[in-house]
Amino acid sequence: MSYRAPENVPRPTRALPSSGTLRVRVRYCECDPMGVAHHAAYIPWLEMGRTELLRDAGVSYADIEAAGVFLVIVKLEASYKRPAFYDDLVEVRTRVTQATRVKIRHEYEVVRAESGATLSSGIARHGPVGETLVTATTLLACVDRSGRPAALPDWLAGE
């Protein structure tokens, strides 16, 4: 089957990076009463890492969607090593490891960049800086507006 990307997809204005980092502060609303970041909090951080790779190339994901190209997660795997705590600064390291005509695979490492504050309850939750908290992978597929498989824009595909 032959897939085609829409012709009106915006093109990057800078080289598309194969890796990048993003720092995120763990918010209170992402934590349990003990100040531990909930496992689901990591998933948006991964998305932010992917999105920033595009932004670093001068393209927004919103503009790509407006052109009719949608990247949907078809597989996500995460391995939780150590907890992140309220007010920690974490670094999300994102790397593109594979790109085909219709799919992109990313690998992630979430690392503690700075230990956070003590909670008002007096609970101190501090972990070592540089500690790996989570490793993860995602596989994204390109679909069109109707949800059918579509080709990635040529600048995003690895072939």
Ordered structural domains, the chain, with CATH: 20-143 (3.10.129.10)
Spatial separation of the C-alpha atoms in residues 111 and 130, rounded to whole Å: 6
Spatial separation of the C-alpha atoms in residues 54 and 156, rounded to whole Å: 9
**What is the reported pLDDT for 120?**
62
Spatial separation of the C-alpha atoms in residues 94 and 108, rounded to whole Å: 5
Q: What is the pTM of this model?
A: 0.89
Helix, strand, coil: what percent of the chain each, to 5? 15, 35, 45
**What is the reported pLDDT for 9?**
83
**What is the reported pLDDT for 133?**
97
Average pLDDT for consecutive 10-residue bins of the chain (159 residues)? 66 90 96 92 97 93 92 98 94 96 97 79 72 97 94 83
